Homo-oligomer: A and B are copies of this chain.
């Protein structure tokens, strides 16, 4: 007897036929005593369709009312999946995020799961139901529905698996696992059998689209093994877990990630005194905008002024620009420059801690490609470089070849 949480994305539930297909697949592999929770996203493009409707009503398509609108998408797919199970003779019940006890912060559009009270889910499981939960949503303490932001259904699934102390959380997706790099960019990229939470978190944070960082973080916090696998085949995918069982211990670098959803902001002529950087980033924090890479440079000619360069998600760019223009007026800033034609390329691997020269090797690969590095940032298990967006794919291929295509690394 196991308790499994299975998450299916929008493309897996795009039509009633596809919904029936995944219901049949789940039933085919279900042992009689298995208890199963299914988390689903909205059908196919329905979230985009709702966004398009919103944009016809207002040019400020975000906030409370957008979440009110978007949460309907998952509510449709959970109801249809529950009906399909019932039609197939399997008792099933659907729950909205609220009904599943998912409590979030009040940050509309990017809510964080604060707590889960899965009592109703447990009761329904014990009554013999397959329980279907709407991904991507929860309830804030003011009674409002809040969406979790991009890829939020993964977060729902993993957090729910944690709260239910599930044996495994399976993330069914278009790809059959986590690759050493995006296989569309690097044909030589290969699927990893396993990866640690820490490395996966870093890969996800740095742009590997297969999993959302917050979902991996949840998995790490609650020690839920996450199995990333294909919706279309029975092949084993990639297991994300605490420690390696077999492979991977020897490799310095586990994967190459890249992210083109990046915008660069340069704030020119800021007073070079304590608290200035804090002030800029307070404006962004109030608007719920995350800042990623940050560089502060001192001008040789005039050390009373400094320039601050940082990156944000390109999707936050329009809102960030609004906020920053207010900051500029409020504080008499000389100028703020914006660039969206940048990309971040990163190497990830816990092994780099014991392997000198990884950074040097990485910069060497950029040099080989004649690629200029604009910003460098590092964490314990990753090194990232901001470069011109046009060079991104070339850079990924060069780095993958250098670090991962030796016979040692490839399986």
- Residues of A bordering B, CB below 8 Å: 16, 19-20, 50, 53-54, 56-61, 64-66, 68-69, 71-72, 75-76, 78-80, 82-84, 86-87, 93-94, 96, 99, 120, 143-145
Contacts and interface: CB of A to CB of B under 8 A. Distances in A.
Contact of A72 (B56, B76, B93): B76
Contacts of A80: 53-54, 57, 65, 69
A68 B58 contact: no
30 contacts: A16-B53, A16-B56, A16-B57, A19-B57, A20-B57, A53-B80, A54-B83, A57-B80, A60-B83, A60-B87, A61-B83, A65-B80, A65-B83, A65-B94, A66-B79, A66-B83, A68-B75, A68-B78, A68-B79, A68-B82, A68-B94, A68-B96, A69-B75, A69-B76, A69-B80, A72-B72, A72-B76, A75-B75, A99-B143, A99-B144
A110 B20 CA distance: 28
Nearest to A82: B65
What copy number does this chain have within its complex? 2
A363 B59 CA distance: 62
Nearest to A99: B143
Given A69-B80, A79-B65, A120-B143, A57 B87 contact: yes
A12 to B, nearest CB: 15
A47 to B, nearest CB: 12
Contacts of A96: 68, 145
Given A65-B82, A66-B79, A87 B58 contact: yes
Contacts of A144: 99
Contact of A58 (B50, B71, B72, B86): B86
Contacts of A71: 75
A208 B105 CA distance: 48
Contacts of A66: 79, 83
B79 A58 contact: no
B93 A64 contact: yes
B87 A79 contact: no
Nearest to A80: B57
Given A57-B16, A57-B20, A57-B87, A69 B79 contact: yes
Most buried by B among A50, A57, A58: A57
Given A54-B79, A58-B87, A59-B87, 13 more contacts: A16-B56, A20-B57, A54-B83, A60-B86, A65-B80, A65-B82, A65-B94, A66-B83, A68-B75, A68-B79, A72-B75, A75-B75, A96-B145
Contact of A84 (B19, B58, B120): B58
A24 to B, nearest CB: 13
Nearest to A56: B16
Contacts of A69: 75-76, 79-80, 83
Nearest to A59: B87
A58 B76 contact: no
Contacts of A68: 75, 78-79, 82, 94, 96
Contacts of A58: 83-84, 86-87
Most buried by B among A71, A79, A84: A79
A76 B145 CA distance: 13
Most buried by B among A19, A69, A84, A87: A69
B76 A53 contact: yes
Contacts of A99: 143-144
A79 to B, nearest CB: 4
Contacts of A59: 87
Nearest to A61: B83
Contacts of A19: 57
A50 B65 contact: no
A8 B125 CA distance: 40
Nearest to A76: B72
